[in-house]
Amino acid sequence: MKQRQLSWPGCRANCWLIALLATLTVAEALPFLFTHLRPQINWTQLETQPWVVEEQPRSIEPHLELVPHPNRTKISASDASDAEFLQRLANQTATSRMLWNDAGGGDGLVYPPFVDRALRLLNLKQVAFEVENSLMSQVTCTACRAGAGMIQHQIQSGKTDADLIQMITDYCTNLNIQTARVCQGVAQLFGTELIYVLKRVNLSPDELCSFVIGDGCADVYNPYHEWEVIFPPVPKPPRLADLPIPMEAAPFFKVLHISDTHYDPHYAEGSNAECNEPLCCRLSSGRPATPNAAAGKWGDYRKCDTPKRTVDHMLAHIAETHKDIDYILWTGDLPPHDVWNQTKEENLAILKETVQQMVEKFPGVPIFPALGNHESAPVNSFPPPYVNQVDISISWLYDELDIQWRRWLPQSVTHTVRRGAFYSVLVRPGFRIISMNMNYCNNKNWWLLLNSTDPATELQWFIYELQSAEFSNEKVHVIGHIPPGHSDCLKVWSRNFYKIIARYESTITAQFYGHTHYDEFEMFYDPHDLNHPNSVAYIGPSVSPYYDLNPGYRIYYVDGDHDSTTRLVIDHESWIMNLKEANLYGYPIWYKLYTARAAYNMKALRPSDWNNLLNELTNNQELFELYYKYYWKNSPARPTCDAECKKRLICDCKSGRSHDRKHFCAEVESKIDQESSKSWKSWFYRGLTNSSEERTGDTATDGDNPFDLVIVNVGG
């Protein structure tokens, strides 16, 4: 069963590096078994730029001008001025924004005792499968530890960077882990960065792999990567027993959500879609061995990204079908998955081209973007601001993002975008959107090994924005790329984010992410009361079919400007294109796959309603199968889903805090195990009963039970 297979494509090259470094351990006869002294590096006191959150400019003027849409069936917005509306919306005079400050505030390389098992457990094919499918077991953990220990040993023994990179390339090629050009690209792009970081950290292989892999590799305590955000001394508003249901027939915003475009400028129809590389369907992929191996005109279910004609057709369809869009959420991942040979120049060119596409197709429509993990080169590489050397600084990307995003965003965002690619914009009176750079929670971002403590001060800034919003009676929507509960999100970062969501649950009314490529959601609960759901994260489907998926996008209906507005999502629709039929008939047709409330019989889309749905998905197999169909965007290539698959999917929905499934999933897993056991026992018992009756001639089978057919054939 392929599960969560799309969560790691961006980090696949990083993880190959771990896997092939593990093979070096075997080849070099594990020389790092012996104790080697490590120099003590004081990397915790990093020199940082002075940056005061409270001094940064804020967006305080409404950015979105309402446009009347007479064809809408619901009533239009009020004719009252923004000032009058805001005054009615506020229950009391807004308090001035508060500024606060924090009032309080082994010398040897001793390798863990797993190495005796390394030769028996080190199965590179299994490691590759687990890395690709984000199903980490002890085998991948062992490989990671062995690889990390090996490269640390080579660094300490005086190998040059060039020697290390060449060694990685040779082993990757000779062991056929990937093609020669992929091996060389991975070693050059990722090896240089990894070596740079490992030279500057004082972490054991256990600590390194626990950091990168998470709960799949034990939970090794590391005080250098344990930290807490600081909350202002302001009491949390009393929470409601449940949120009110948005009013029917009230004004609303129609919102488009596009994510994970992965536009491939080198896609070639008819090229090889079954190549032996991470990305196929290019002229460089070679000729297809059979007609069935040829890349389709509009895309392909195999490891291929989105051709330009498909992106153009989708945007034209949206512009024609949804003429009344009020604003757009664009949650990142623009470049393709050729992660072994990307350059900064090529990624910037894709950024500029896709921005221009959006400008031309949606003139005058505000767009609120978020940064994906693929925008950098190499992928997942996002050095925090204290890494300011010209050759490794991330300013090449953030400065260009500011230029491109300013087509839609106000000038007040410039400072935070250039610092960390995050921003806050007041969309309407009482309504704000905050865009987070989730790459600072990305545990495949090697730079966080140097210091993971609130990179770029993003979370502390986030708290300040939310506290200011709370004082001003604003509701907030949060957007980003990597969902905070996903296994790609660093545990300590996710834990702090989870606390922030809980503290400001009365302010944050929705979250929106991408990254997984699937159509799904994540739940958040009060950390002190897991029976109280306090937020929901909507994870939008990918435009890219990578892989085994249909292209798709989302439409949300958000509670609009009126006196009783909740700013909750009222409903959402998922739209897809059937890629198989598009390639078969030569023309794509985009259609609405489902509407959330109608499909799942939900009276509203509050956190409590989504929590109720989770309980129903656990107990109702027919409903779960419907969810599974929509999760895969009705792809004909989707695999079957057994009990383990069901547990993973429902647990993914329930876990808004990463690497902490034991707190959220035990009850769900127990229920599914019980149902699975009952189902199997019932099936087996019926089979035996029917078999016995058939043999004694008491009754005849009707052929409905597959087990009956087997018995009849054997007996006959």
Residue 563 assigned to a binding site: no
Please, what sign has the CA dihedral across residues 480, 486, 488, 489? positive
| Structure tokens given for 155 | 């660094």
Q: How far is CA 634 from CA 129, 610, 629, 630, in A?
A: 24, 21, 5, 6
Point out which residues pair with 489 in neighbouring strands.
442
Residue 473 has what DSSP assignment?
Answer: T
Helices (H), 157-226: 161-174, 180-186, 192-198, 205-213
Q: Is 24 exposed, middle or buried (0-12, 13-18, 19+ CB in 10 A)?
A: buried
Residue 266 assigned to a binding site: no
Residue 42 assigned to a binding site: no
Residues 406, 411: Cα–Cα separation, whole Å: 7
Quick check: helix, strand or coil at residue 97?
coil
Quick check: helix, strand or coil at residue 555?
strand
Contacts of 714 (CB under 8 A, 6+ apart): none
Residue 102 assigned to a binding site: no
Residues 649, 631: Cα–Cα separation, whole Å: 9
Point out which residues pair with 433 in neighbouring strands.
425, 477
Q: How far is CA 589 from CA 257, 316, 593, in A?
A: 19, 12, 12
| Cβ contact 295:269 at 8 Å | yes
| Cβ contact 409:423 at 8 Å | yes
Residues 163, 360: Cα–Cα separation, whole Å: 49
What residue type is 545 in one-letter code?
Answer: P
Residue 477 assigned to a binding site: no
Residue 333 assigned to a binding site: yes
Residues 302, 289: Cα–Cα separation, whole Å: 15
Residues 638, 658: Cα–Cα separation, whole Å: 25
| Structure tokens given for 256 | 């488009």
| SS3 track for 332-382 | CCCCCCCCCCCCHHHHHHHHHHHHHHHHHHCCCCCEEECCCCCCCCCCCCC
Residue 515 assigned to a binding site: yes
Write out the binding residues for Zn(2+). 260, 262, 333, 373, 481, 515, 517
Write out the binding residues. 260, 262, 333, 373, 481, 515, 517
